[in-house]
């Protein structure tokens, strides 16, 4: 029996693509699966060359077997008598096997181990692997976040049951913006049609580094112990969103980008912290140039409150100056940006 195939590269952490050859027998007997270790940063990739002699047909069907969110098949391509499988790490640590299916059954073509990536280089309290630093992911999150919040406004009194104040609106749109937006999801959330916006590519909720617990609840840099100490959760009020989940961008409204947040503190209210979404142009009205802010009023006694959308110009003319988004207004805390969108210089 003559064996051929050598390792063509060295496994590396990070986003560097490295090619491996699967050792396989010329007579078509079972091959020795290649093994690779990748960092769970949502970007690291690995190429596997699968020798043609082991294939049952010109193109086998390949699937990844293992926990969701660990890795995904980015591409399968033919190169001569070989298939090349490109595997991309997710952000959830674990192990996946690349299975090749043919007429005679399946075989393990490769094994991929994805190791945790808990770095917090910008010391913002979140692992870097949660942050959407690529321009495409950043834009996708902003667009879905804005659309889902504004879509609730158009529902009138038929809001999602979760949404009962300003923070609940933000939590809902934040979480759902990170999901995979297919038809099944649209039915579940009550959408009549799925908006043609690309999904965030780095991960999809709930397969995140923090699983379902997206919101930070305590101060401090990220520590591995945070995963078990209650530092993260699914619920956060407006004050917690401001303190631990968003970064201050200043009190100049001109610095706000669509998808940013405006925070206020009104001491004469039982719940002093209030948040608005800086929507920018409407996501529902084509060609509009009016900039809007969107928010839920929150309850007041027996009144459940309601969704409101007002133009930025109207907000500046609000009869109560305490709602004016100006630097001179002490109750206006400023423009804030979700930490998940990263910070300048930290990619």
Question: What would the pLDDT profile of 199-217 be if each residue is shown by its tens digit?
Answer: 999 999 999 999 999 999 9
Dihedral (CA of 153, 159, 162, 164) sign: positive
The DSSP call for residue 261 is E
At 53 the pLDDT is 41
Which two structure tokens, joined as six digits, stand for 105?
């059954």
Predicted pLDDT of residue 253 = 97
* Better pLDDT: 298 or 17: 298
Look at 132 and 12; give whichever has higher pLDDT.
Answer: 132
Q: What is the 3-state secondary structure (H, E, C) of 200-253?
A: CCCCCCCCCCCCCCCEECCCCCCCHHHHCCCCEECCCCHHHHHHHHEEEEECCH
Q: In sequence order, which ranges of the chain are alpha helices (DSSP H)? A: 135-153, 166-177, 183-189, 238-245, 312-316
**In this predicted structure, what is the pLDDT of residue 22?**
39
Break the chain into its structural domains and give their ranges: 3-115, 128-341
Per-residue pLDDT of 239-261, as tens digits, reads 999 999 999 999 999 999 999 99
Instruction: Indicate if the pLDDT at residue 60 is higher than 80.
Output: no
Q: What six digits make up the tokens of 209?
A: 């580094």
The span from the CA of 92 to the CA of 251, in Å, is 37
**pLDDT exceeding 90 applies to what percent of the chain?**
75
Size of the chain, expressed as the number of residues it contains: 347
- The reported pLDDT for the residue numbered 275 is 98
Minimal CA–CA distance to 215: which of 240, 227, 233?
Answer: 233
**Mean pLDDT calculated for residue range 116-142:** 96
pLDDT at 2 over 60: no
- Does residue 35 carry a pLDDT above 50? yes
DSSP state of 72: E
Q: What is the pLDDT of residue 27?
A: 35
3-115: CATH class: mainly beta
Phi, psi of 178 (to 5 degrees): -95, 0
Mean pLDDT on 54-81: 81
- Rounded to an integer, what distance in angstroms lies between the CA atom of residue 120 and that of residue 143? 26
């Amino acid at each position: 029996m003559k064996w051929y195939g050598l390792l063509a590269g060295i496994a590396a952490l990070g986003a560097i693509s490295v090619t491996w050859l699967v050792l396989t027998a010329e007579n078509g007997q079972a091959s020795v699966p290649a093994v690779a270790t990748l960092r769970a940063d949502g970007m690291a990739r690995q190429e596997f060359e699968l020798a043609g002699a082991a294939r049952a047909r010109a193109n086998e069907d390949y699937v990844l077997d293992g926990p969701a969110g660990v890795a995904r098949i980015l591409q399968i391509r033919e190169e001569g008598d070989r298939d090349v499988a490109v595997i991309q790490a997710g952000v959830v640590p674990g192990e996946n096997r690349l299975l090749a299916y043919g007429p005679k059954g399946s075989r393990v073509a490769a094994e991929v181990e994805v190791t945790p990536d808990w770095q917090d280089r910008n010391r913002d309290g979140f692992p870097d692997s949660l942050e959407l630093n690529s321009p495409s992911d950043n834009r996708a999150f902003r667009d879905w976040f804005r659309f889902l919040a504004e879509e609730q406004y158009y529902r009138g009194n038929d809001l999602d049951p979760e949404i009962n104040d300003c923070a609940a609106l933000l939590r809902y749109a934040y979480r759902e913006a990170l999901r995979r937006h297919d038809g099944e999801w649209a039915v579940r959330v009550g959408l009549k049609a799925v908006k043609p916006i690309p999904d965030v590519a780095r991960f999809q909720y709930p397969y995140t580094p923090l699983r379902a617990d997206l919101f930070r609840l305590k101060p401090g840099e990220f520590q591995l112990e945070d995963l078990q100490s209650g530092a993260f959760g699914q619920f956060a009020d407006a004050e917690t969103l401001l303190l631990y989940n968003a970064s201050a961008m200043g009190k100049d409204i001109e610095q706000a980008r669509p998808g940013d947040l405006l925070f206020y503190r009104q001491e004469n209210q039982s719940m002093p912290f209030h948040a608005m979404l800086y929507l920018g142009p409407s996501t529902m009205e084509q060609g509009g140039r009016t900039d809007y802010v969107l928010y839920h009023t929150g309850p007041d006694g027996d009144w459940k409150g309601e969704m409101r959308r007002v133009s930025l110009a109207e907000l500046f003319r609000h009869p109560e100056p305490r709602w004016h988004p100006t630097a001179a207004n002490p109750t206006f805390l400023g423009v804030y940006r979700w930490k998940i969108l990263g910070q300048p210089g930290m990619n």
